[in-house]
Amino acid sequence: MKLLFKLLFLAFLTLNSCKEKATNQPKVVTLPKNQIQHATAFSIHKYEGYSIVKIINPWPEALQSFTYVLKEKNGVIPDSLQNYITVDVPVQKLVVTSTTIIPFLEMLESEEKLTGFPHTNYISSQKTRALIAKGAVKDLGQNENLNIELLFDMQPDVVVTFGVDNTNKTVNKLTQNGLKVMFQADWMEQSPLGKAEWIKFYGLLLGKEKEADSIFKTIESNYNNALELVNKKEANQTVLYGSMYKDKWFVARGNSWIAQFLKDAKTDYLWKDLPGVGSEALSFESVFDKAQHANIWITNGAIENLTQLLEENHHYAKFDAFQNKEIYSFESQKGETGGTIYYETAPSRPDLVLKDYIKIFHPELLPDYQFTFAKKLD
């Protein structure tokens, strides 16, 4: 009996020892639910003490993605994530390389954490321009050729940039010398709300997640309310988009950011069935054949009036929209140093862009609304 008891006791100890060893094994990191709803180029997965951010689609036809770990104070990062770039948040010194990020920083009341930007003349916002004027934001030269020495002297917590392909010599130089670089890809989003949702990325970096979520929910609600305005409207106004650049006319493809606005504003965009994103280069003749009688023309470029438009190409006068003076531009407003306000602000405020389009095509729905970006050419 004593022998049997000893054998049972030893078996009990062995079982508990195995359980204890199993408990002490490194934990496998499984991704919780993605916090992002509209954007497709990135995801956020929250853990206690840290977050994992994945940049899924950094540039066209990308064959790689990027994973970053954003570590909160006293957060513990599992061994399985040690090989990824880890950034301590909230960051105190930030360098960014796209003007579309500036409105996000200002919405989160964190523009003073910006310490450097390439070609600061592109920035239009008066708030950030005031920081540039007093030397708080350094000019880092051209995006493709950043001032590496100045960046090393500044020692930002992180540099947030973008890539157009997988050859970025500047990024390689920065990382090889110990600076932390994160790719962002808001420009890859084709959904209007998808672009705006990138505020959550900066909310994480700046320790303002709740504020970012609240701001985005307001923009999302405003956008959906604008959609409700036109819910019962017919898309009966035909639309010509773009203008000539050298010898080609570039129109927005049917799955592009621009085409989505035109669809949501209930318009009959003449190239809505052209597959793909971005733009398509067409001849003047093919555009004229299709759009000579279009009701409204949304042109691009910094055009101020019809005279200036005609000076660019006298054939424009043949379009009905020109003859009827139904031409609009979203790119006419400039900042004090020449930056285009639309390019800087529109991606973060799709609700205002959509209202502008609704005002153009269904003005009776917004009788008291004043354009934010759009301008009718006179």
Residue 171 resides in a domain: yes
- Overall average pLDDT of the 272-293 stretch: 97
pLDDT band with cut points at 50, 70 and 90 for residue 145: confident
Asked if 209 and 265 sit in the same domain, the reply is: no
- Overall average pLDDT of the 344-349 stretch: 98
Asked if 134 and 104 sit in the same domain, the reply is: yes
The answer, yes or no, to whether residue 257 has pLDDT greater than 50, is: yes
Residue 13 resides in a domain: no
pLDDT band with cut points at 50, 70 and 90 for residue 147: very high
The answer, yes or no, to whether residue 1 has pLDDT greater than 80, is: no
Residue 301 resides in a domain: yes
Spell out the residues 6+ positions from residue 346 whose beta carbon is closer than 8 angstroms to its own: 330, 352, 353, 373
What is the pLDDT at residue 17? 46
Higher pLDDT, 9 or 39: 39
What is the pLDDT at residue 94? 98
Asked if 111 and 235 sit in the same domain, the reply is: no
pLDDT band with cut points at 50, 70 and 90 for residue 29: low
Asked if 234 and 307 sit in the same domain, the reply is: yes
Asked if 151 and 255 sit in the same domain, the reply is: no
Task: Copy the structure tokens of residue 369.
Answer: 């609304």
Asked if 278 and 152 sit in the same domain, the reply is: no
The answer, yes or no, to whether residue 12 has pLDDT greater than 70, is: no
Asked if 215 and 338 sit in the same domain, the reply is: no
Asked if 245 and 272 sit in the same domain, the reply is: yes
State the average pLDDT for the chain. Answer: 92
Asked if 280 and 356 sit in the same domain, the reply is: yes
What is the pLDDT at residue 367? 96
Helix, strand and coil content of the chain, in percent to the nearest 5, comes to 40, 20, 40
Asked if 170 and 133 sit in the same domain, the reply is: yes
What is the pLDDT at residue 177? 86
The answer, yes or no, to whether residue 172 has pLDDT greater than 50, is: yes
pLDDT band with cut points at 50, 70 and 90 for residue 22: very low
Residue 180 resides in a domain: yes
- Overall average pLDDT of the 172-201 stretch: 95
Using the CB atoms, write b or e for 152-173: b if 16+ within 10 Å.
eebebbbbbbbbeeeebebbee
3 state SS for 256-299: CHHHHHHHHCCCEECCCCCCCCCEEEECHHHHHHHHCCCCEEEE
Which structural domain range is residue 336 located in? 230-376
Residue 81 resides in a domain: no
**CA terminus-to-terminus distance, the chain:** 106
The CATH number of whichever domain residue 157 belongs to comes to: 3.40.50.1980
Of the candidates 322, 111, 95, 351, the one whose C-alpha atom is nearest the C-alpha of residue 219 is: 351
The answer, yes or no, to whether residue 335 has pLDDT greater than 70, is: yes
Dump pLDDT digits (tens) for 196-217: 999 999 999 999 999 999 999 9
Of 199, 221, 243, which residue constitutes the final position of a domain?
221
What is the pLDDT at residue 8? 39
Residue 275 resides in a domain: yes
Dump pLDDT digits (tens) for 103-113: 999 999 999 99
Of 174, 195, 221, which residue constitutes the final position of a domain?
221
Residue 355 resides in a domain: yes
Of the candidates 7, 358, 46, 368, the one whose C-alpha atom is nearest the C-alpha of residue 210 is: 46
Asked if 357 and 319 sit in the same domain, the reply is: yes
Of 163, 186, 221, which residue constitutes the final position of a domain?
221
State the total domains in the chain.
2
What is the pLDDT at residue 23? 42
pLDDT band with cut points at 50, 70 and 90 for residue 26: very low
What is the pLDDT at residue 32? 80
Residue 140's φ and ψ, nearest 5 degrees, are -100, 15
Asked if 258 and 208 sit in the same domain, the reply is: no
Helix axes 350-361, 209-229, angle to 10 degrees: 10
The answer, yes or no, to whether residue 175 has pLDDT greater than 50, is: yes
Residue 8 resides in a domain: no
Dump pLDDT digits (tens) for 70-98: 999 999 999 999 999 999 999 999 999 99
pTM score, whole prediction? 0.90
